[in-house]
Structure 1
Amino acid sequence: MKIINILVFISLLFVSTQAFSHSKLIASTPAKDAQLSISPEQVELEFNREVRLLKLEVQQVDADKIDISFKPTMDKSTTFAVVVPTLSPAGYQVNWLAMGGDSHKMKGSFDFVVSDAAS
């Protein structure tokens, strides 16, 4: 009986740990460190669990943020796509902030490059 109680406790501990694990970014388009020959039409983020996307910024490296007209909503999703204007050849950084179902905030960033198609 003692062994059964221990096994039940361990299995409940494992299940509760899985239920409360944090959300994380699992994919993006453009991908981290991507070298693009043309400007992307949008930035896409994919998470392993539903989150609320609170902030998304695109910034040319060593320059100002680019207006992408992102507005956070209370909607939860695993994927988000935000249209971006045509980006000139340069290096860019995407910064994001999201809130998971457990109210845990997470942030991240990744870079990509749009190269001059003529070169």
Structure 2
Amino acid sequence: MLLVCGYAYSQPQELTHLQQVPDITGIVAKTETSPSDDSVLNDAPDKIGLEFPRQVRLVKLTLHNAQRDWVDIGFRYDPLANDIFSWELPTLDTAVYYTADWAILASNEMLIRGSFSFSFGSEAKAPSVTKQAEQDILDLRIGGSGELFVTPPRTEIIINQDPPQYDPPFIIELQQELQNNPN
């Protein structure tokens, strides 16, 4: 009698950094932000805040403008769980809009991400309007949102020019040493 036993193991599918696990907890939808997402303010806010429906550990909070220039808000990870978080802001420069990206560890150790955007000033528009206009321009340029376009790097075409000659950082002249020391 011959017994054959086999096992099949597979590695769990890992998500790339561009993919995000869907929020099955509903925390993102129930989270309140200050300023509110997509809000247009008269003046720059003094602080930003997050209020979660239950206690979580905030592991990331960043603020950047529409050009992705980072603003140092002094966020440091605190391992203690809380449901309300608030940070004083430095004086914000005029920008089309600002986006705060955040990430939390929920009670089941699941990483959940979210973000909110706001703009301010007399000429300010809702960030969603600006983002949609930017997306429309990209769609016209690349032919739709299902395609990915990467702008090629700038190049210089050089005609009739020899490549530059470089000397190594040092030259060892062995022939001269042999002539001075015949041993």
Asked if these proteins are the same fold (TM beyond 0.5), I'd say: yes
Q: Find the aligned partners of 2:88 and 2:27 in 1 and give their Cα distance.
A: 22
User: Is the contact made by 1:89 and 1:113 (CA closer than 8 Å) also made in structure 2?
Assistant: no
Partner of 2:47: 42
Unaligned runs of 5+ in 1: 1-20
Q: Find the aligned partners of 2:26 and 2:83 in 1 and give their Cα distance.
A: 9
Q: Find the aligned partners of 1:23 and 1:48 in 2 and give their Cα distance.
A: 9
Q: Deviations over 1:52-94 (max 9, x none)?
A: 0000001011141101110011011111001111112321011
Unaligned runs of 5+ in 2: 1-23, 124-183
- What is the aligned counterpart of 1:94 among 92, 100, 104? 100
Which protein is bigger by CA-based radius of gyration?
A: 2
- Describe the SS at the equivalent of 1:73: coil
Q: Find the aligned partners of 2:34 and 2:75 in 1 and give their Cα distance.
A: 16
Alignment of 1:1-119 (within 5 A): 22=25, 24-25=27-28, 26-90=31-95, 91-116=97-122
- Describe the SS at the equivalent of 1:98: strand
Amino acid at match of 1:35: V
Amino acid at match of 1:39: A
TM-score using structure 2 length: 0.50
Percentage of matched positions with identical amino acids: 29
RMSD value over aligned CA atoms?
Answer: 1.6
Aligned residues: 97
TM-score using structure 1 length: 0.75
Q: Find the aligned partners of 2:93 and 2:41 in 1 and give their Cα distance.
A: 11
